[in-house]
Amino acid sequence: TDQIAGVARSRITAMTEREARRFARARPYSRARLETGSEAFLHGVPMHWMRDWPQPFPLLIDRAEGARIRDADGHELDDFCLGDTGSMFGHSPAPVAKAIRRQARRGLTYMLPCEEALEVGHLLSERFGPFRWQIATTATDANRFALRVARAVTGRPKVLVFNGCYHGTVDDAMICLDEGRQTIARPGLVGQVADLTRTGVVAEFNDLAGLETLLAAGDVAAVLTEPVMTNCCMVLPEPGFHDGLRALTRAHGTLLILDETHTISSGLGGYTARHGLAPDIFVLGKPVAGGVAASVWGMSFEIAARFAAYDACRPSGHSGMGTTLSANPLQFAAMRATLAEVMTEKAYARMEKGAARLEKGLAKSIARHGAPWHVVRVGARVEFICHPQPLRTGSEAVAAHHPDLEAAIHAALLNRGCLIAPFHNMMLVSPVTTRKQIDRLVAAFDEILTELFA
Ligand code: PMP
C-alpha cells in the first residue's frame, strides 16, 4: 500500500531526504573528521551498530553532561537515549564521577575483593532482594552465567525465551519463531555454527497455554525474560501473566531468570520489587554502575544452595564463567556511588513525574492528529508505537515496527535537538531531565506529526 501506519509513503520519503540533508549541512566539521580520520576502523566505526542510526553519518560526540549531549560541531542535544539505558540516571552523575576520581588513585583492577565490594553486596541485597550476588561486566555475560547455573542445577539443556526478546549477544537467546511458529536461529547471526534449536525454544509473551505446552516437555532449564518486553516495541504483561509464569515454571521445575536491564526504569528495585515478583535469578546490567561497564546477577538462596551442592561435585577446571576485569574496584566504586547516592527513591520520583508528562504530551499529540498510534510507559521509559492498539506478543510487536517511518521521525527529532534511542522509539527520562527538555521533545514530535498527517 502507499501508507505506513497511517502515513503516506511520499511524505516519509520527503522527510527522510530533507532531514538527512539538514543533518549533514549542519555538521561540516564532523563529516570532515569522519571522512579523513575513521578509516582505521572496520566500516569507519569502532562498533558496528554505530552505523545503524538513521543519519547519513554518525554523530561525533564531544561530551555529555546530565541529560544533554554535544556533538563535535557544537550542537547541544537533549538526550533521551541516554546510552540506551547505560546513562539512565544522567551522564556522569556527580557522585559516580567523584568515586571514579578517587579510585583512579588506588588502582583499577586487582582480581581481589576490596572493602567497598562488601558494601556493594549489602546495597544490592537491600535494593533488589535477598540474592547471592556475582559481578560481571556486561548484561550479556550476566545472562550467560545465569544460564550456566540454571542448566547446572536442573540438569536440563534448554532455555525458553519469548519471541522478539533481546538479552545481549547471548547465543542461546538468539532464536525466534518462523512463520510456521517453529523455533529457528535468528537469520542475521554472523558465523553461527551450533544448532541453537537444540538448546533453546521460543514461546509468545502473554501466552500461558503455549508456555505450559513447552515446559511440559521437561527439558527447559530456565525461562529467561524481561518483566516487560522492551526490545521490540514494548509489550506489557497482561494481568495474571507474571503469576502464571511463576506458577508454571515452579510446577515444571524450570528456573525463572528476570533480566531487569531495561525495566530497572520501573522504580527502586526494578519491576521485580515494584510488582513483588520472585525470580530464581535476577540480572541487571547497563546502569548499575552509572555508566561504568558492570553488571550483577543474583541467585535466590535456594538456587545458591543447589548450585553449591553441584559445585562441590564438579570436576576441577574452567567453569565457563569469568572475565578477568570483572568485579574490579573501579566497578565497585561506581556501583557504590550509584546504588547509594544516584539510584534513589527521590531520583525515581523525578523520573516518574517527567516520564508521565512526556507520555501525556505525546498521547495528546497523537490524538490531536488522529494518528493510529499509541504510547506506552514503564516508569521512566516511554515509547510511542506506530500501531493503534497495545501489543500482546513479540510477534505483534515485530509487525508494529516500521523502520522507514521511524527512521524519518528519529532524524527529524534529532534535527530539532532531541536524541532518542535508535532501533525502536524509546525515550528515557533521567532524574536530571528538565521539564523544558520534555516540553521541547513533545513540541518537536507534534511538529513532525503535523507534517506527516496534515
Ligand atoms: N538484556 C537486556 C534486556 C537488554 O536490553 C540488553 C541490551 N540492550 C542486554 C541484556 C545486553 O546488555 P549488554 O549489551 O550491555 O551486554
Candidates 196, 204, 251, 199; CA nearest to 229 is: 204
Count: domains in the chain: 2
The mean predicted confidence, pLDDT, of the chain is 97
The residue from 322, 342, 362 where one domain ends is 342
Q: What is the rounded distance in angstroms from the CA atom of residue 241 to the CA atom of residue 271?
A: 14
Amino acid at 78: D
| CATH number of 251's domain | 3.40.640.10
Whether pLDDT at 76 is above 90: yes
Q: pLDDT per residue over 282-313, tens digit each?
A: 999 999 999 999 999 999 999 999 999 999 99
| CATH number of 379's domain | 3.90.1150.10
Largest CA distance in the chain: 69
Whether pLDDT at 418 is above 90: yes
What average pLDDT does the segment 53-65 reach?
Answer: 96
Q: Are residues 366 and 326 in the same domain?
A: no
Evaluate: CB of 137 within 6 angstroms of ligand 1. Answer: no
pLDDT at 278: 98
- Please check whether residue 79 is in contact with residue 440, taking contact to mean a CB–CB distance below 8 angstroms: no
Q: Are residues 290 and 336 in the same domain?
A: yes
Q: Give SS3 for 102.
A: helix
The residue from 342, 362, 380 where one domain ends is 342
Q: pLDDT per residue over 304-359, tens digit each?
A: 999 999 999 999 999 999 999 999 999 999 999 999 999 999 999 999 999 999 99
What average pLDDT does the segment 74-84 reach?
Answer: 98
- The CA-atom distances, in angstroms, between 161 and each of 140, 174, 183, 225, 267 are 14, 9, 10, 6, 24
> Which DSSP helix (H) or strand (E) runs through 72?
none
Q: Are residues 309 and 356 in the same domain?
A: no
pLDDT at 434: 98
Cα dihedral sign for 315, 316, 317, 323?
positive
In this prediction, residue 1 has a pLDDT band, given cuts at 50, 70 and 90, of confident
The answer as to whether 24 is a domain residue is yes
Task: List, in sequence order, every residue forming a beta bridge with 281; answer none if it has no partner.
Answer: 257, 299
* Of 84, 226, 228, 261, best ligand 1 pocket probe by most atoms within 8 Å of the beta carbon: 261
The answer as to whether 174 is a domain residue is yes
pLDDT at 208: 98
Evaluate: CB of 138 within 6 angstroms of ligand 1. Answer: yes
DSSP 190: S
Evaluate: CB of 167 within 6 angstroms of ligand 1. Answer: yes
pLDDT at 137: 98
| Closest ligand 1 atom to 86 CA | 15
Q: Could you list the residue range(s) of the whole structural domain that residue 426 is in?
A: 3-79+345-453
Atom 9 in ligand 1: which residue has the minimum CA distance? 168
Amino acid at 331: Q
| Closest ligand 1 atom to 293 CA | 15
Evaluate: CB of 286 within 6 angstroms of ligand 1. Answer: yes
Candidates 295, 303, 261; CA nearest to 278 is: 303
Rounded to the nearest 5 degrees, what angle is found at the Cα of 276, between the Cα atoms of 272 and 282?
Answer: 30
The answer as to whether 392 is a domain residue is yes
The answer as to whether 88 is a domain residue is no
Q: Are residues 305 and 401 in the same domain?
A: no
Question: How many Cβ atoms are within 10 Å of 186's Cβ, its own excluded?
Answer: 11
Evaluate: CB of 207 within 6 angstroms of ligand 1. Answer: no
Any idea which of 45-54, 74-83, 214-223, 372-381 has the lowest mean pLDDT? 45-54
Q: Give SS3 for 5.
A: coil
pLDDT at 351: 98
Evaluate: CB of 226 within 6 angstroms of ligand 1. Answer: yes
Question: How many Cβ atoms are within 10 Å of 405's Cβ, its own excluded?
Answer: 23
pLDDT at 423: 85
Q: Are residues 426 and 415 in the same domain?
A: yes
Whether pLDDT at 450 is above 80: yes
- 206 CA to centre of ligand 1 in angstroms: 21
Q: pLDDT per residue over 386-398, tens digit each?
A: 999 999 999 999 9
The answer as to whether 85 is a domain residue is no
Whether pLDDT at 233 is above 80: yes
The residue from 342, 373, 397 where one domain ends is 342
Direct distance between the N- and C-terminal alpha carbons of the chain, in angstroms, rounded to an integer: 19
Q: Are residues 135 and 206 in the same domain?
A: yes
Q: What ipTM does the predicted assembly reach?
A: 0.99
Q: Are residues 262 and 323 in the same domain?
A: yes
Q: pLDDT per residue over 149-189, tens digit each?
A: 999 999 999 999 999 999 999 999 999 999 999 999 999 99
Residue 237, classified by CB atoms within 10 Å of its CB into exposed (0-12), middle (13-18) or buried (19+), is buried
Q: What is the rounded distance in angstroms from the CA atom of residue 248 to the CA atom of residue 312?
A: 29
Q: Are residues 125 and 169 in the same domain?
A: yes
| Closest ligand 1 atom to 286 CA | 15
Q: Are residues 330 and 353 in the same domain?
A: no
- Please check whether residue 254 is in contact with residue 219, taking contact to mean a CB–CB distance below 8 angstroms: no
The answer as to whether 84 is a domain residue is no
Q: Are residues 126 and 227 in the same domain?
A: yes
The answer as to whether 254 is a domain residue is yes
Q: Are residues 231 and 171 in the same domain?
A: yes
The answer as to whether 90 is a domain residue is no
- 367 CA to centre of ligand 1 in angstroms: 33
What average pLDDT does the segment 59-65 reach?
Answer: 98
* Of 52, 81, 166, 381, best ligand 1 pocket probe by most atoms within 8 Å of the beta carbon: 166
Which residues 6+ apart lie within 8 Å of 43 measured at CB? 51
Question: How many Cβ atoms are within 10 Å of 35's Cβ, its own excluded?
Answer: 11
Q: Are residues 62 and 203 in the same domain?
A: no
